[in-house]
Homo-oligomer: A and B are copies of this chain.
């Protein structure tokens, strides 16, 4: 079966058999089927449990062989000792794709684990069934209200495809529930990065790809797949296990080999990947690419409520290719008209003193931002504010969403500080029109990654 079809069954299954479906239900029971139903999945579900005739109102089966309809995907949730037998039964039934949750295969230290792994691989080889995992959350797909993770997650229809080696990435962060679509490779005994990348590269629902790489047996294949994908959409990479100690820990996490950190750095860069350093940067960058248009040039204008916040943004741009350019004569002249005589109008534009001269402060911010956002020489605009109070948040959200709607082609992001900034940023993200970050530094870093990819796509 072609990879495209295999991956479609894993990520967009129309029918799923859950082998080892549990009758325990309710909070903290980690009942995968209960989660799937709660998401509103419209496909067919077949719980397999020899001790039940129905589970959660759905007819249960003693084994996959009893099911009559087609089965796109088998979720194997049984204990590790039973997995080879179950997998063989799935293959015998003609199932082409199976996701294995249990731990203790290539990631184990005992002989049994490695023997079980060998048996799995032998079944894959002899039957052609494809395996995701073991030691995996499986897949998630917000567009069909599906996730096979045993932890309940929140699904958001973001145009994002994540390939990871840990269920950690299914959860996202408050401002960004990430999935979109997620593929957890777990130990990656069969399905690996290249298969997952090929799927996302050609997936029209996915605008940006995020990879969490612990290690891989096929580094060259991965790099080639990344290079091909970056011609279509940005690929963000978090390569973990950079210390020797971490590399050893990974061996027992997913059984992966880490490889040398510097070689990875160089290879990922030449493949056109956007490498990030930590999980916060990973989520920030993926979220940014899911919303921002590309930059025409690397010049940034900052409009700041506070001189200090503008300086923090400039500090963060110091070692990047971004430029805080001088404003054009035309733009400067327009701003000078709004400002008190004593204010030096330059970039960053300190709009607080300008606001103080207006009766309507919202109007002042609007005038400043219209001048900067309509300046065709400026590649990106960064706005900084404080989330002073819930009512103020509401007004600022309206203001930023309005501006984002007025200038859809202009890369435009905010850095929102203060006691209420999380609420502010979460609310903006739910509306999905304007990109906001928690600090000027995080926004500047996002701009830097945006320019890196914009430049690549422009062939500069």
**Which residue numbers of A lie inside 8 Å of B, CB to CB?**
27-28, 80, 103-104, 107-110, 112-113, 151-154, 164-169, 171-174, 177, 212, 214, 240-243, 245-246, 249-250, 252-254, 278-280, 306-312, 314-318, 324, 340-344, 346, 348, 350, 352-353, 361, 386, 388-389, 391-392, 417-423, 426, 438-442
Give A417 to B57 CA distance when docked, in angstroms: 34
**Closest CB pairs A-B (n = 10):** A253-B307, A166-B308, A108-B342, A171-B418, A246-B314, A278-B441, A109-B344, A243-B318, A110-B342, A104-B342
Question: Which of B110, B152, B164, B389 contacts A388, CB < 8 Å?
Answer: B152
Give A241 to B307 CA distance when docked, in angstroms: 11
Are A343 and B308 CB-contacts (below 8 A) given A171-B386, A419-B171?
Answer: no
Output the least CB separation between A343 and chain B (Å).
7
Chain B residues with Cβ below 8 Å from A254 are 307
Give A109 to B344 CA distance when docked, in angstroms: 6
Question: Which of B27, B171, B315 contacts A240, CB < 8 Å?
Answer: B315
Who on chain B is nearest to A424 by CB?
Answer: B174
Contact B388 A249, beta carbon cutoff 8 Å: no
A-B contact pairs, 10 of them (CB 8 A): A27-B389, A107-B307, A167-B306, A172-B419, A173-B417, A246-B314, A252-B307, A278-B315, A280-B438, A422-B422
Chain B residues with Cβ below 8 Å from A350 are 252-253
Question: Which of B28, B109, B316 contacts A392, CB < 8 Å?
Answer: B28
Give A421 to B176 CA distance when docked, in angstroms: 12
Chain B residues with Cβ below 8 Å from A418 are 171-173
Output the least CB separation between A148 and chain B (Å).
16
Contact A310 B388, beta carbon cutoff 8 Å: no
Looking at A107, A172, A312, A342, the one whose CB has the most chain B CB atoms below 10 A away is A342
Who on chain B is nearest to A305 by CB?
Answer: B168
Chain B residues with Cβ below 8 Å from A318 are 242-243, 246
Chain B residues with Cβ below 8 Å from A342 are 80, 103-104, 108-110, 112-113
Contact A307 B249, beta carbon cutoff 8 Å: yes
Who on chain B is nearest to A153 by CB?
Answer: B419
Question: Which of B103, B346, B439 contacts A353, CB < 8 Å?
Answer: B103
Are A340 and B174 CB-contacts (below 8 A) given A253-B307, A389-B27?
Answer: no
Contact B312 A240, beta carbon cutoff 8 Å: yes
Output the least CB separation between A105 and chain B (Å).
9
Output the least CB separation between A3 and chain B (Å).
25
Chain B residues with Cβ below 8 Å from A214 are 308, 311
Give A166 to B352 CA distance when docked, in angstroms: 13
Contact B108 A343, beta carbon cutoff 8 Å: yes
Contact A441 B280, beta carbon cutoff 8 Å: yes
Who on chain B is nearest to A172 by CB?
Answer: B419
Contact A246 B315, beta carbon cutoff 8 Å: yes
Output the least CB separation between A119 and chain B (Å).
15
Give A197 to B53 CA distance when docked, in angstroms: 73
Chain B residues with Cβ below 8 Å from A110 are 341-342
Who on chain B is nearest to A166 by CB?
Answer: B308
Contact B245 A278, beta carbon cutoff 8 Å: no
Chain B residues with Cβ below 8 Å from A361 are 28
Chain B residues with Cβ below 8 Å from A240 are 308, 311-312, 315
Chain B residues with Cβ below 8 Å from A309 are 166, 168
Contact A388 B171, beta carbon cutoff 8 Å: yes
Output the least CB separation between A185 and chain B (Å).
11
Chain B residues with Cβ below 8 Å from A250 are 307, 311
Give A92 to B301 CA distance when docked, in angstroms: 46
Chain B residues with Cβ below 8 Å from A279 are 312, 417, 439-441
Output the least CB separation between A256 and chain B (Å).
10
Chain B residues with Cβ below 8 Å from A167 are 306
Chain B residues with Cβ below 8 Å from A312 are 240, 278-279
Contact A104 B174, beta carbon cutoff 8 Å: no
Chain B residues with Cβ below 8 Å from A441 are 278-280
Chain B residues with Cβ below 8 Å from A113 are 342
Contact B173 A308, beta carbon cutoff 8 Å: no
Chain B residues with Cβ below 8 Å from A169 are 308
Given known contacts A103-B342, A164-B308, A240-B311, what 16 new A-B pairs fall within 8 Å (CB)? A104-B340, A154-B419, A166-B307, A169-B308, A171-B386, A173-B417, A173-B418, A214-B311, A240-B315, A241-B315, A242-B315, A242-B318, A243-B314, A246-B311, A249-B311, A278-B316
